[in-house]
Chain A
Amino acid sequence: MQRRVTIGLITILVVCVIWYAMTTGFGIIPSGRFPAPAETWSAFIHVSVRGYGGGDLSLHVYNSLRLVVLGFLFAVATGVPLGLLMGWSRKAEALINPIFLIIRPIPPLAWIPLAILWLGLGDAAKMMVIWFSAFVPSVINTYAGVRNIDRPVIEAAYMLGVPKMRFVGEVLIPGASPMIFTGLRLSLQASWTTLVAAELVGAFYGIGRVLNVAQQDLYPGMILVGMIAVAILGWGTTRLLGVAETYALRWNTAALAAKG
């Protein structure tokens, strides 16, 4: 472990040195193609102090983060129950699955033009596409999770005459929860991809808006700042979800041991 961390740090350091050498040092890469470290820094100062593309950095970050979190939560709140229902009831599965089969092959990003036609460039259209992209992984993984619950566990609960509500709360949801969290991670990733794409196509605020304006202005420093912001936000929200997962699954010693 120690060795891995050391080599990792050295690698990142070397990449930074190469970055500096290639741009500022020897000027092999022209600054019109890729920004030098100093240019990136000044772009960062520019967007956080004076603002860029309609607002300062905190406003853009706030807007993007708010949309992703809301869209994600909304998708989870609708997707997980539907997945539980489809996993539990064969009839519901038979009824709903064919609709899924025809909608699923359409990539979430392909809904963006339709969302803009229906709801314009504001928040509603973004919520719609984020909901769409995050909904499908939530449903499918929850559904698979229910189907993977050990048969004897369900039969034992039945035999002991567990009432319906307690069965859902104490057998179905905990049993499916490892898969549910896998679904949530995929949903979260999909939410970010879709949001950035939707904001690049058209938006008033948000990180995608910054990227879009920077692209039109041929401002490489700002493009890099936008990309770093997207990466940090994606990483942070994934970490947060990981913490929630560890907390929610703390009873599941086998899964924790497998995670290391």
Chain B
Amino acid sequence: MQKQISFTQSLLLGFLGLGSFIGLWHGLAISGMISNVFLPSPVEVYDRFTTLLDRRFAGATLQGHLFASFQRFAYGFILAALVGIPLGLLMGWYQLLDEIVSPLFDALRFVAPIAWVPFAALWFGTGIGGPIMIIFAGAFPPCVINAYRGAKFVDPRLIEAANMLGTPSHRVIREVLLPSSVPSIISGLRVSAGLGWQSLVGAELIVASAGVGYMMVQGQANISTTTVMAGMVAIGLVGLALDSALRLAERIIQRRRGLEN
């Protein structure tokens, strides 16, 4: 590795990198080499973003679409956590359950979450049910896997001590297994929030009548590149906020456990 560089130097280089990226984009857009319809300048995207905030497009304002998206996301994500975490913990605890569920789980994991779209539409419609199922399909596996790992790799001495002291099985699960797998579970939640959010966007591009993805598809159909880009910015911002919130939770829990390095 090369030597560390000073903070001001890295700040300077960072601004240089970002500046030349945005400058290049802006330059290409206003030079007229690429039609403005296809590559709007950053300023135009920003204008469109603020316009979308108070003018309706594809049936709602940007906040309205974001709210619809987020609502679906929250349902799907919470459902995945409520089913996935207990399943993972139980699989980590009862070997037989692990042996029964694992082959099915492994087979299903190779089906990309987005490939559930046709069945989701067929079973639950394109309103709120279908997208929720796709978010569930995206967010479920990391919940299970991390809860499973958390339960599987609990310090065996803790379980032995609990067993020696005659703790009944359900209390071992609640008071030893669950608390010691919390850090792993939280990391799993962060991964599944990311995948769930991504699946939501995919689902909305294909089947939905509201939400940011729907807004982008409408923008695409109307050849409004600014709308599509504004949608990408909004999706990125919400994704970033979600990730930061869960990262914070992860850090708080690690600190409380004294696991922080």
Contacts and interface: CB of A to CB of B under 8 A. Distances in A.
Interface of A: 3-4, 7-9, 11-12, 15, 33-34, 87-91, 94-99, 102, 105-114, 116-118, 146-147, 149, 151, 154, 189, 192-193, 196-197, 200-201, 208, 211-212, 214-215, 218, 220, 223, 226-227, 230-232, 234-235, 238
A33 B114 contact: no
Q: Which applies to chain B's interface (DSSP): helix, strand, loop or mixed?
A: helix
B123 A33 contact: yes
B237 to A, nearest CB: 7
Interface of B: 1-5, 9-11, 13-18, 21, 38, 96, 99-104, 107-108, 110-119, 121-123, 197-199, 201-202, 205-206, 213, 216-217, 219-220, 223, 225, 228-229, 231-233, 235-237, 239-240, 243
A117 B114 CA distance: 21
Contacts of B219: 113
Contacts of B103: 8-9, 11-12
A197 B17 CA distance: 32
A33 B124 CA distance: 10
Contacts of A230: 110-112, 115
Given A102-B18, A112-B202, 5 more contacts: A99-B17, A105-B239, A109-B198, A114-B225, A189-B112
A196 B198 CA distance: 13
A212 B118 contact: yes
Given A11-B104, A33-B123, A90-B2, A107 B216 contact: no
A201 B205 contact: yes
Given A33-B122, A215-B118, A235-B110, A98 B14 contact: yes
B223 A117 contact: yes
Contacts of B201: 107, 109-110
Contacts of B113: 193
